Structure formats: C-alpha cells, structure tokens
Amino acid sequence: MLNGTPVLVAEDQIFIALDLALAIEDAGGAVVGPAASVAEALELLATTVVGAAILDVNLIDGDCSAVAELLSARHIPIIVQTGLELPRGLAARFPDLVVHTKPCRASRLVAQLEAMLENLARPG
C-alpha cells in the first residue's frame, strides 16, 4: 500500500492519466495532478510535497527531463513510461531510471512504485 504517499502523475493522455490516478487511489496513495505538461508538473512540484512520481516521457510541451532532474535531486522514486524509445539524453543522465513501454497496466506501475518506496524505507 502507498499509505497516503503523494504521487505525481505527469501524463498528457487523459485516459491513461485517469487510469493511473485510480490505481494510485486504490493503493492508498494521494494523486498529485495529473499534469499534462512539463510546466504544469514543475508548478505542482514547486507547491506540493511529492513522495513518488509516474511520468510519461513525452508531455505536450516536451520531454520530462526537467521534471525527472528535479525529482532525482530530491531523491524521489520515479517510474517513467513511454510509447517510444527513451531519449538518449534522458537515458544518459538517468541510467538507473525505471522505464516501462506503453501500454502498461496502471496496477503494475503502482505495484512497482510501492516496492521502490518499501526499499527506501528499509534501514541499511
């Protein structure tokens, strides 16, 4: 369970965004967003505490690199999903990034996010 963890959803396809939001809520998380653009995601991150994120690589105003950089600097777990290949620059900057190819079940992404958060919570 996500135990109330606020999860940023950055996804420009409304049906995928809503599916992710429902899966996050079903797992006990709190949805931040969804944001359809990089600008909207960055605005949310400036005003809201986030404990994890699920990002679409390509948003309506560009790729998610700026969002991933901010989240990474804050040591926030990120899962990325894409319908295309991961941009080389993003792959080079974040070699350990968890990436899923669309279509991907929202419940699978949320389960992986839960595991990532659980690993962070373990001592040592």
Structure tokens at 9: 């959803």
At residue 121, the pLDDT reads 82
Single pTM value for the model: 0.95
Structure tokens at 51: 């404990």
**C-beta of residue 44 within 8 angstroms of C-beta of residue 70:** no
At 105-117, the pLDDT tens digits run 999 999 999 999 9
**Which CATH number among 3.40.50.300, 1.10.357.10, 3.40.640.10, 3.40.50.2300 corresponds to the domain 6-121?**
3.40.50.2300
At 91-106, the pLDDT tens digits run 888 888 899 999 999 9
What percent of the chain is modeled with pLDDT above 90?
83
Burial 78-92 (b: 16+ CB within 10 A, else e): bbbbbeeebeeebee
Q: What residue ranges do the domains of the chain occupy?
A: 6-121
The closest alpha carbon to 112, from 23, 10, 11, belongs to: 23
At 64-91, the pLDDT tens digits run 999 999 999 999 999 999 988 787 888 8
Read off the pLDDT band of 124 (50, 70, 90). Answer: low
Residue in the structure block whose two tokens are 């950055």: 10
